[in-house]
Every structure is written in structure tokens, then in C-alpha cells.
Structure 1
């Protein structure tokens, strides 16, 4: 048996689902938000919602870094890419995200030198191979991808790569969770969160404790396999039933309370918290993102190229912002699966495989509801 097979056992999954059904109090509705897009993907792929009782509901959250990056920041990247003698290195998903009828892919078609990379090391390699060109790495992601960016900046200075810089868009998970809970106009009642897995391997479980205590909401960190998610849901139901609001760790095989201290040290050395940062769907949040620290400013693309902030609206028909807040489900959007598909996305949630819209579309989780609606 492969190690991962233990966490995909159908019999054990049905047993956990039965335990959840027994634990869920009749007449009470439990609403849990999975923050991470990886969990959204697993829930859609394995049909986990179909195993849960009707009164245990999963709400999709903003946990996809491609999805939450606002259009204005993407427009800044497009403007960077169109500068002469500049190479913009970006993860592939960002190339297809639409903004005001444009995208990095369209900019490349117009002649911009946009290169798809799988890791920041590839951007460093581009800078080494092209000393006559400016190379900018379009850095996005939560705490998981931030340490490699810090290592790359340190390495660029050590090697004297003066033509390398980073357009930094790294964002912070606990701040977003707190913002969702603190929003005065929140239309979604939540009983707790399925906490992120990969992020928590870096930051640990400790950073969520203050938020859980302040808002009296349970949070269970879970792995990405189906049994991980179901076990986390059972732990959340039990917390709610007992009136507890604690941070628990289902993903003990990879996450500790303190996390990866070396990675945290690297991030603290190279980055500094931004006073505010715009999130698609959540608005402008305080201390929710990182900027390159002043002592490393010679590798900061925003400083090097004097970039200014942009504010752009999403497509009028796209409800990605509401999906990211948990106020709408993908299939509630009028253009979902019709005008908006992975081949022709109108919003960011349909681009990334971790986006809620793309996950639901790819695994057909919208079809039964659509058919029922037509027959009604």
C-alpha cells in the first residue's frame, strides 16, 4: 500500500461520514469554511459534500493566491512586462487571469517577454543567462511560497545579480481569516474553519490561536486527502457541540505548533508587513501582505521601476469576489459554465485549479443542481 492510499480508503471515509452524521445535532446547521483552495479541490474531486449530512455545510473561502490577487496588481505586472528589454517570469496560472479585457498571455502575444516558470530558481537562471536584460519575478502566494522567494533574493545579492528583482505579492493567511470574521456586513454565518495545510507547515498552528479566541470560532488544520478533510469536519462538529472554540491540528504528520522556524527567520529577514493590501473579494486589509524590506530594496521591482498602485474592477458578470467571501457558490453565478469556463475564464476563480469555480467545473459538481433546476 502506498502511504497516500491510507488517506483515500472508501470504507474509512464512509465510516467517518457516519460518525459526522451521528455527531451532528438534528435541527442545527453547521457551517464550516475551508480556507485553502487545495481543500476546495479535494472536496470537489472526491465528492466529500455528498457524504455529509444535509445540516453540515462546507463554504468555500478565499484560499487561492491566484484568485485573491486584485486586478490592479495584475495590471501593474502587465505594464512591467511591456517595458523594453525586460523579462517577466511568472507562474503559469497568472498568465491566463483576465483583467479589463487583458491578460499577461495577451501581453505576450503583443510582444512582451513573459516567461512561465515553475519555481523562482528558474527566474534566477534567466537573470544569469541574460545579464543584458532586466528579469522580474512575479511573486505570488501565501506563506508557503514566501520562503523560496526570500532565498532567491538572498542568492541574487550573493551572486551580484543586479538585473534581478521581485514584484512581491505574498499575502498572509491569518489576517484574511480574521477579516472574514470581523467583517461587519458579513452575510455568511460560520461556525469554524478547516485550516490550511501547506501554509501551516511553515507558520505552525500558533498564529491562528488569537483569532479563534477573539471570535470564538473553531479551527482545525487539515491535510489535503479525503480522510483528512472528513476527520477535520468531525473534529469541528465536536468542538461546536461542546461549546469550544480552539485551534486543533489534524495534520500532525506535517504541522507543529511553532512551524518551520528557519523558514520564518528567512521571511522576517527579507520581508516586512505592508500597512495595507488589497484582496479580491475582501477589500483592503491591514497587515495582510508582505513587502520587500528596505535593506533589500535594490531587489524590489516596485521601487526599481517606480510602480504605482492600480485599481481595476472585475468583469461585471463575474461573481468571483462573492465566491471568495463565501457569500455565493460557483454555480450561483449566472455565467458559470456558460460564458465562463476554464477555456474562457471571465474571473480568476475559473483559472487556477485551486479556484472554487474551476474545481466545481472540472469535477462536474454543478451538474446535478443544474439538472434539478431545469426540471423544476
Structure 2
């Protein structure tokens, strides 16, 4: 048995057990021996590299190369000095092998694809399903909280709403559409005194029609068809799905940005209700609902095609707050509406149409 005392501690990198060892030096290698003189490991001197260790410990920790594996903690001052003298590359930094970037490129690409799938597929699909189970009173309460902000954004005059016999006409028509389609909830329609040519369906069966849309329309059936379209959004609960999607998106962004207060989430929800921008699939779904419900009521939906063209001209192709912001191309939609129209009747009399036109004075 060798009586020399161990001067270092060896860990094989496979277990947590530490082994007291002593060192033997040759011209090209460091031999690590156990207390009985048995061979533990033999490391070529050119491959020995220093491993970071807390300053002030008086020790030096080394490994064979820069990768994971065994570690040797040297405590003896003479051995430390010898290490420094014979290991020319002891403090060399890790080099980058050819193609070192390929794993990072693969991981990065996978991460980007994952994020895209989450935001464009998973969250939208999950939001649509969750919207169906949200209690209806919750939707109503949400809209009641945000509607005053909507009126400020849309610039309604005075108290923001128009009142008169024409309002009863519009409410009667949308209630009739709700009845023939089996909507099953109360519809709350108001006309906003704003020049914006727009109509929006908010969560909870709240529909806002803007004076600018009525002023632009040449035919009452066009306005009623727009109401049918917005009723479609309410039926499929697109507004609530948009809120859930924006909230989920904002929550993820908040985590990334460290916004633990949720301020980003609140902003995204407000913007969703104000912008009322739906996916093209949602818009096509609402379009089809409008055509079907107008046919059920035996009202001609063809005038909607002319209104779409006028809306596009009035907005100059702009996408801000106009009713067509996320719809398919206007020309294609107009033709589809004409081809798919089955109703032939008028949705209101000349007297009623005049009352609607005069609703905001």
C-alpha cells in the first residue's frame, strides 16, 4: 500500500461520489491513482482544461477537454503549480467545431415554427371552442364595460346614440332575423351618431350600426343584410372568440416581456372589441349566415353587393374601421351575393326607410 497522502479529489461524472486521489506526472500525461496506487484515469496533458471554480478557494478544477464528464479538483500547491507549467492549453477557451451552428439552427427553426403554430392555429381554434361555453351574461357584462370607450373612439355626437321611429324599425327587422334563425338570445341594437360607414357585433348580442353606413346605403335591404351579417357574428360568438384569442396572445407576450401586471392583456382585449377584425373564415361564415337568414325571411339580399362597392369607394381601399377590413375581395363577394340570393321581398316600406334615413337627424 502506498503511504503518500491524496492531494486531489476525483469525480467520474457519472455518480455524485467523490474519491480522494493522488497524482503522478509523466512527460505527456497525468496519471490519477487511488489511495492504494490503483489506476483511476490517465489524461494526456495537452487535453487538460481548467473548469471554472469559485475564486478564493485555493483549488484548481480540471477536466479532460471542455465537455461534460469527469472532474479533478487539485488542492496541493505543488501539483497546481505543475499543472500550470506543463499544461500549455490549460486555460484555453472552447473552440467551435465545423458545423457548430447546425444544432442551433435546427432548434431555432423548430422554436419559430412552434410559435407560429401556437399563434395561428392552436390559439384561434381553442378560442373558438372556448367562446361557445362562456356564459352569455358574461359576454353582456364585458360589452357594457367597454362600450363607453367604443363611443369615444368612434366619435359619436352628444350621448352617442340616435333615437326615433327608425330605430324601432331596425330593431324589429333584426329581431325577425333572430327569430327565423333560432338565435335564442336577446339582441340589443343601437345606432351611433358617427359618420363612419360601419356596423359591429360585440359580445353578448350587442349590435352597433353607424350613421355613416345608413347614409351610404341606397336600399333598405342592404342595411338589413348588414344586420344579418352582424347577427351571424353574434350567433357564432366570433366577438368572444376574438377576445379570448387576444387575451391568450397578450398573456404569452406578457410572459415574454415580463409584464406580470397584465397590462398588455387588457390593451389587447380593448383593441379587439374596438377593431372588430375577424378572420376571413369568420367573415365568410357570417356572409353565408346573412344570405341564409335573408332567404328565410324572403328578403332580397342582392342590394348588399352594391353597398359593398360603395363602401370600398368611400374608404378608398383603406382598412381602418371599415366593414370590409378582413373580408374577401369586394368584387368576388358581390358576385357571390348576387348568385346566392334567393329572397325577393322588401325588408321595409318606403315610409319605414325614410324613418331610418332620418334617424340621426
The TM-score with structure 1 as length reference comes to: 0.22
Look at both structures and tell me which one has the larger radius of gyration over its CA atoms: 2
Whose helix proportion is higher, 1 or 2?
2
